[in-house]
A and B are shown apart, each in its own frame.
Chain A
Amino acid sequence: MKRLITLLLLVVCLPIFAAGSEGGEIDTKEIVLEHLGDSYEWHITTVGDHHISIPLPVIVHSKTSGWHCFSSSRLHGGTEFEGFRLAEDGEYAGKVVEIQADGSETRPFDISITKTVAALLINSIIVIALVMGAARAYRRRKVDAEAPRGLAGLIEMVVDYLLDDLIKPCAGPNYRRFAPYLLTVFFFILLNNLMGLIPFFPGGANVSGNIAVTFVLALATFLMVNLFGSKHYWKDIFWPELPILLKAPVPIIPVIELVGIFTKPFALMIRLFANMMAGHAVILSLTCVIFVTASLGPVINGSMTVVSVAFSIFMNCLELLVAFLQAYVFTMLSAVFIGLAQEGKQETEQE
């Protein structure tokens, strides 16, 4: 405890000493947005004036010169490479652009391994490793052996919990068919959320707070709901049991229902995206408080540092909860939508 207090005091004092020597304005908005957005290299830290970052491969397809694949370090500092460079401002600020013969900038087809993609791939590998590791522990296990320990036990606990509390009640009698999908979604989102909370490589990337990621997840749920929907489900959309005036000359209810098909996954997408992005933004802003107040003198800076650290710890704890909660909510709503679309279907799997 004593050591902890000393350490905290030290942390408080550091900016006080630093406050006098450092100058220059800090653009909090830019820092936060830069983190929330994507980048072509994975910035780890800055020592003095030297940036330490992992360069990632840039893969672009130009209409004129075909495929290009090179390291992002070649574009560092706005230099041009093979006719490409990082746009400094304008519509494509921060993106790789192709410089045309007339000097104008166009956006090539870009499937670069950006920071988000790299983090996504790493997280995907971790998910596969976790689940397959647990599955492997079960494959050789006899029924009457004792319950597994360690990783498999942890996964089992979560799977069992989700299955009993969420998938069985929500997804209807055919839950066995959808359980693997729902569990995949849960673990995928949870792991991406948690990895985003780790503030250094290989975590810290804002993967689940990226709209493209949540879009694909929502699309998957959309497909799961509508591809396996029952006759009853489709009938309820296009010809619900309502007074005929509500559906016959002007199909009011069917239109509303049809829009509802798309708004449900859309809400899923926005909810996950906004929650995770906001979490990252809040934590980053709180951290920036330290640097913003550096120009206001040592006393304010010191006290604000304490406040910032305290709030950051609180926010991180909250984000841990949110990370689980958002994964849970996404899975639960997916299960509910699937369950609704399964209505009127007989139980096909008899076990």
Chain B
Amino acid sequence: MGLLQPETGLLIWMVIAFGVVFIVVAKFGFPVILRAIESRKKFIDSSLDAAHAAEKQVAETGEKVRQLLTEAEQQRAQMLKEVAETREQLLQAARKAADVEGERLMTEARNRAEAERQAILRDARQQVALLAIAVSEKMLRAQLPDSAAQTLLDGRLIDELQNQTNKK
């Protein structure tokens, strides 16, 4: 049967056609594709590895960050406590200082008031003395028209004054 006999011409053409296809495609076509596929596979594998490593690192970093946070928290609490203590101390000191100052001011004020009172008293006494002298002078001028009486009175007055001074 004709179908089962290979034609010589067709055989030759087939050898040429398949040969050319094979040489071109197997030399310049498929190696490129195979290499690309392989390198991409490798790239995907390495990328996966890198991703895993990164994930691990991220987890580690997270742990570290958490640690840092707790530490910071502790530090903050410590600092707050210290600050509170310091504040308390300062307040106490201030209160004490204020007390002392108040005391001092009070004493000073009291002293000044006392001095003022003394001065006023002295002044008043002097005025009273002057007034008394003036009054007695007037009375004496009226009662003692003569010099004898005057001299007598003078003597008495001087005595009196001397007594007063002595009393003092």
Contact = CB atoms under 8 A, between A and B. Distances in A.
B12 to A, nearest CB: 6
Nearest to A220: B18
Nearest to B43: A143
Interface in B2-31: 2-15, 17-18, 20-22, 24-31
A156 B37 contact: yes
B36 interface: yes
Given A184-B25, A187-B25, A131 B30 contact: yes
B22 A184 contact: yes
Interface stretch (A19-27, A115-123, A339-347): A115-123
A159 interface: yes
Contacts of B17: 120-121, 124
Contacts of A116: 10
Contacts of B21: 124, 127-128, 184, 188
A252 B62 CA distance: 75
Interface residues of B, number: 37
Nearest to A207: B14
Interface in A312-351: 351
Contacts of B28: 132, 135
A152 B25 CA distance: 14
Q: How large is the interface on A (under 10, 10 to 19, 20 to 34, 35 or more residues)?
A: 35 or more
A33 B2 CA distance: 9
Contacts of B34: 159, 163, 176, 179-180
Contacts of A120: 10, 13-14, 17
A216 B3 contact: no
A163 B37 contact: yes
Contact of B18 (A124, A138, A160, A210): A124
Nearest to A160: B37
A51 B32 CA distance: 46
Contacts of B22: 181, 184, 220
B26 A184 contact: yes
Given A135-B33, A181-B26, A217 B11 contact: no
Given A113-B13, A132-B29, A184-B21, 4 more contacts: A38-B7, A111-B8, A138-B36, A156-B36
17 contacts: A33-B3, A109-B8, A116-B10, A127-B21, A131-B29, A131-B30, A134-B29, A135-B32, A159-B37, A163-B37, A179-B34, A180-B26, A180-B34, A210-B10, A211-B6, A213-B10, A216-B11
Interface of A: 33, 36-38, 59, 93, 109-114, 116-117, 120-121, 124, 127-128, 131-132, 134-135, 138-139, 141, 143-144, 147, 155-156, 159-160, 163, 176, 179-181, 183-184, 187-188, 210-213, 215-217, 220, 277, 351
Interface of B: 2-15, 17-18, 20-22, 24-40, 43
